[in-house]
Structures are given as structure tokens and as C-alpha cells.
Structure 1
Amino acid sequence: MTVDFSTLVAIIAMAAATVLTRLSGLVLVWHVSFEKSRRKVIESIPPAVLMAVVAPTAFATGIAESIACAVTAIAALRLPMLVSVALGVLCVALLRAATGE
């Protein structure tokens, strides 16, 4: 297999842009203080993004995915994002196994 140099450079540049974007957000949050209401708004962004990604799949596929989406949405209201996603994955796996899909 051969790797085109321009493709490799593009992949490395995209990876660097992604890492720098994430790190700059962390650095900015360390140096900025937020009021309680603004912090609550910022903390609600990850569940909103999760639902924007998950919802189309839930409505375009079967009942197992729809139920798992609901479980994930409810869990995301109170639990950390990683736990919410893990519950959704576990739920869809169990429901698929139970229904034979």
C-alpha cells in the first residue's frame, strides 16, 4: 500500500486542527470565570449535541434504537455524558439481542 504525500499532510493538518481546537477550549475555560447561569448553559451543550447526532438514527431505524435514544436522552439530563452514551449502547445491544435483530 502506498500513501500519497499530500493525503498524509492533509490528515496530519486536520488532526492538528482538531487537537488545537479542543486544547484551546480547555485553556480558555481555565482562565475565564462564568456566572452560574452561563455555566449551566455551557454545560447543556454536550447533551444537545448528543441528541442532534443520535435522534436521526432513532427515527430512521427500529424500535430498539428508538428506545435506546430515549434512555440516552433521559440519562443525559442528570448523568455525565460518557455514562449516558454507555447506557444507550448497552440498551440497544440488549434490545437487539432480545428481539433477535
Structure 2
Amino acid sequence: MPVNVWIIFAAAVVTYATRVGGHMMLSRMRSIPPRVDAALNAVPAAVLATLVAPAAVSNGSAEAITLAVCLVIGLRLPMMGMFAIGWALVVALRAWGL
């Protein structure tokens, strides 16, 4: 088998093991400690930051402006509203050449 297949298989096994291991560990606890709960609540924001930050830094001013606007309107509007406005804004700014 090619090396790529083994790499994909190994990544799948490691991903599965971490998910099952985390579930098994948390299922054995009677209650989740506050620090673990706080860490688990921070995961979605951390993942979103790792996906969004490179776009703001490496793409251009249209993306940076859109991210700044979405940061502000995200505090006031529901998530789908923020996504819709952000999408429309980045399309408009790219059309204007920013």
C-alpha cells in the first residue's frame, strides 16, 4: 500500500482514539470539574480563531474589514445574521477591489 494510505489510516485511528478516550474519561466522572468545564467551553472559540486568524492576516483588507465588522455585530445579532452580513460584506468589498 502507498504511504499516503497508511498516513490517513493512522490519522483516523488517532482521531478515533482521542474521541473515544475523552468520552470514556468524562463518562467515568460523577461531575465535570469547573476547570475542565471552562476548558471545554473554550474549545469552539479556539477552533474558530485558528480558522479565521490566517484569513485576516494573509488574504487582504476585505477579509480583515469583514472580520472586524463581524466581531462587532456578532455581539448584537444571532450567529446566522452575522454570517449573512459577513458574507455579503466580503463579497461587496472584493467586488470593489479591496
TM-score by length of 2: 0.60
Greater gyration radius: 2
Going from structure 1 to structure 2, the CA distance change for 1:12 and 1:91 (only over 3 Å counts) comes to farther
Q: Write the distance in 2 (CA, Å) between the matches of 1:73 and 1:28.
A: 38
Structure 1 contact 64–92 (Cα < 8 Å) conserved: no
Per the alignment, residue 27 of structure 2 pairs with 30
Per the alignment, residue 95 of structure 1 pairs with 89
Matched letter for residue 52 of structure 2:
V
- Percent identity of equivalent pairs: 26
* Residue 52 (str. 1) matches residue 50 (str. 2): yes
Matched letter for residue 16 of structure 2:
V
Q: Write the distance in 2 (CA, Å) between the matches of 1:50 and 1:5.
A: 33
Q: 1:38: Cα distance to partner? A: 4.1
Give aligned pairs, total. 91
Structure 1 contact 64–96 (Cα < 8 Å) conserved: yes
Note the residue ranges of structure 1 that are not aligned, 5 or more in a row: none
Q: 1:61 aligns with which of 37, 49, 59?
A: 59
Q: Write the distance in 2 (CA, Å) between the matches of 1:73 and 1:15.
A: 38
Matched residue SS, 1:22? helix
RMSD: 3.3
Q: Write the distance in 1 (CA, Å) between the matches of 2:82 and 2:66.
A: 8
Q: 1:93: Cα distance to partner? A: 2.8
